[in-house]
Structure 1
Amino acid sequence: MTRFTSFADLAGILANDRIARAADNEVHAATYDGAFIEHSELAKLSIMAEPEASEMPDPDMARAAVELAVGTIFDVFRGTRMEEFAQQIVWGFVNSFHMTARIAEGREDDAAKKLGELARYNDNSEIHAVEMEDTQLLCRTLQGCREALEAMRDHASQVYRVETGKPFTATRGSQVSRTSATASQIAARDFLAARNRQRNEDHAPTGPMVVVSGGQVWHDHEMLWDILDDIKARIPEMVLATTGMRKGVDAIATGWAQARKVKSIAFVPNSAHGNAAPFKRNENLVRLRPVEAIVCEGSGIQSNLAQRLRAAGVPLHVRRIADQRPAPRSSRA
């Protein structure tokens, strides 16, 4: 992958890089173009600030900057004693986009709530009309900033996945994108809350649920990807549900979902239930009425889930550790 030596090179994204990753570049370019939109000639980032003329960053420059920042960290550390730290540093870089986008989303939600309150209040005064216009501009500006941050986060997370072979998974909240073709990763808490409130598809995706769970020590990526590819060929609108582990089977399945643009939901056990939390989580997964499931050998938690799925009549793929192909010497899964 071509890297830039300075920000002066950003405007001249090299042709070899475009040829090598043409499909990804087309997706990312369309995503950036769709996110970095000028909703208005004016911008407003707080309720107290006056509207001002301010442009969005150039989408091509933003895309190249992400590629440069993420790729250079891996290149500088590759083959050195510090190589293992590159993954942690880049994870933090991607997560900073994620957390900043969440902050912008919170401010956008507050502005939208106020706009709704103003719209319900019957007032024909000029003061009320100006406040409505200002709040609408604030909401629109924050929406544009949030979408741009999400586009950069999704691009950075894709480079992270390609470089490490592991999916980027945020520690807090869902990784939802409104304009991106990148698959959404949704936290179980957001998913269940959205279902209860009958919210939109962003946090409560509809579709046949496929459950995956397994131990944290697992190296055979191809086995799981082959099974998941077969399921997706039969159930194109599937939604992936994992048991939320950041290593092993769950991480492999989440990486597959990102590569195949499949929405995924991470059902992490609720610590409020103490030692019973994983088994309570298993019960909730079965209640979702999955149409198919993959359970790989792990612990008693996986055995419990497999038993519950069988009892519910869910078609089940069970794989044991011994079923795996031999692990490559360089495997880090």
Structure 2
Amino acid sequence: MTLSLHAFSDGDTAFDVRSAALEDPRPHPTEAALVQLGCALMTELLDLLAETALEDVQTILGESLIGAFHSAAGRIEREADRARDRIRLLEQGFDGSEPADTELQEAIRAARAADVAQAAAELVRDAAAEAYSVGTGEAWTPWRGGRRASALTAAQLDARAAIRAAERRRSAEAPGPVVAFRGSPAAVTEVDANRIFDALNWARGEWPEMALATTGAKGAERLAVRWAQQKGVTLVLARADFDRHGRAAPFRANQELMALAPVCCLTLSRSLDPGQAMSERAFGPALNLAELAHRQAVRCVRIGPKA
């Protein structure tokens, strides 16, 4: 048996223990080192771009860096899935011979190694996303697929995956009581942020185990995403798929939100800032969500100015 070079210590994390258990003669980076890498990569990028001609596109470059590790984690996950498929085939045809046993053990090791590699990529991704949020004030969210929970950021679930989980009632995947939110892209003033946070804090007081469901679009909903990350609230993303649905995408996203069976819908159809509200048209998708909630007898709270 080959022993890992990793020496256990009191400071070992679950990732460190899992990587050491692979019995690979090559040492794995520790979780702390991977987190430091993600933070350093993003911090170096933002520092380099600050006050330069590329500052205008720093959010694009920052999100692309995070997205690269997110994509890598997805590719490694598919490798692990293929290894598990091979394990199932080998188990079905297992004849007890030494060659068959060796082949099965190699497939098992490949699946376990891929799982650890995926976790490593996610650690770097989440650390980079946290540094990105701190450096830019923006909240990164994946455009496709789910996102696992981490110690650094709120757990995030893809809306379709959350719907399937709710249907299956699997407690390990299904979110808690869902509070849906749609808000105007123009509602980004300090007045708007304060009222959005007030509404979300109220909802969390009503449903302490709540999950926040939104599309993650710019403006009010991006502020809500940031609140969820700061509070450690599970975030369910129903991204508007403009490639498939065109102009109807924001309204299709509302249907996904309602399919989550929310206990409450929060809406903000226009900015609450007096200087901006007069020139702004009401945000149609927010009005549409309120209408859907009314039709389905779901409690709906329209966020308004403080009395």
- TM-score w.r.t. the length of structure 1 is 0.75
Verify the 8 A CA contact 1:293 1:317 in the aligned structure 2.
yes
- 1:248 correspondence with 2:219: yes
Give the 3-state SS of the residue equivalent to 1:218 in structure 2.
coil
The corresponding residue for 1:301 is: 285
**Following TM superposition, by how much is the alpha carbon of 1:115 offset from its aligned partner in structure 2, in angstroms?**
1.5
CA distance in 2, matches of 1:200, 1:151: 25
Counterpart position of 1:116: 88
What amino acid is the match of 2:237?
A
CA distance in 1 between counterparts of 2:125 and 2:159 reads 21
Q: Which residue of 2 aligns with 1:76?
A: 48
Structure-2 separation of matches of 1:239 and 1:263: 5
2:122 corresponds, among 137, 144, 150, to 150
Cα distance per residue 1:84-105 (max 9 Å; x no partner): 3322222111111111111111
Tell me, yes or no, if structure 1 residue 230 matches structure 2 residue 202.
yes
Offset of residue 282 of structure 1: 2.5
What is the identity percentage for the equivalent residue pairs of Structure 1 and Structure 2?
Answer: 26
1:107 to partner: Cα distance: 0.6
Q: Paired residue for 1:209, among 173, 178, 194?
A: 178
Give the aligned CA root-mean-square deviation in angstroms: 2.6
Q: How far apart, in 1, do the equivalents of 2:157 and 2:199 lie?
A: 22
Mapped pair 1:98 → 2:79: no
Give the C-alpha shift of residue 167 in structure 1: 0.8
Residues 209 and 289 in structure 1, CA contact (< 8 A), matched pair in contact too: yes
Judge which range, 82-91 or 95-104, deviates more.
Answer: 82-91
Q: In the alignment, which residue of structure 2 is the partner of 1:35?
A: 15
Instruction: Quote the offset at 1:214 in angstroms.
Output: 1.3
Deviations, residues 14-62 of structure 1 (Å, cap 9, x unaligned): xxxxxxxxxxxxxxxx8x933244243544xxxxxxxxx2211133333
> Where has structure 1 moved over 6 Å in runs of 4 or more?
none
* The 10-residue stretch of structure 1 (101-110 or 112-121) with the greater mean CA deviation from structure 2: 112-121
AA in 1 matched with 2:89: E
**How many residue pairs get matched?**
279
Q: Is the 8 A contact 1:41 1:54 kept in 2?
A: no
CA–CA distance in 2 between the matches of 1:209 and 1:166? Answer: 23
Write the letter of the residue equivalent to 1:303. L
Within 5 A, what are the aligned runs for 1:275-314?
Answer: 275-297=247-269, 298-314=282-298
CA separation of 1:73 and 1:304: change in aligned 2, threshold 3 A: same
Does structure 1 retain, via aligned residues, the 8 Å contact 2:166–2:260?
no
Point out where structure 1 has 5 or more consecutive residues left out of the alignment.
1-29, 44-52, 325-333
Pair 1:62-2:34 in alignment = yes
Report the counterpart of residue 131 of structure 2 in structure 1. Answer: 159
1:123-143 per-residue CA deviation (whole Å, 9 max, x = no partner) reads 211111111111111111111
- SS at structure 2 position matched to 1:169: coil
Note the alpha carbon deviations across 1:308-333, whole angstroms, 9 max, x for none. Answer: 2123332222135xx49xxxxxxxxx
- Looking at structure 1, the residues matched to 259 and 36 of structure 2 have their Cα atoms a distance apart, in angstroms, of 44
Paired with 1:56 and 1:310, the residues of 2 have a C-alpha distance of 54
**1:10 corresponds to which residue?**
none
Paired AA for residue 218 in structure 1? A
Distance 1:303 1:284 in 2: 16
Partner deviation per Cα, 1:64-94 (whole Å, 9 max, x = no partner)? 2222221122223333443233222221111
Calculate the TM-score normalised by the size of structure 2. Answer: 0.81
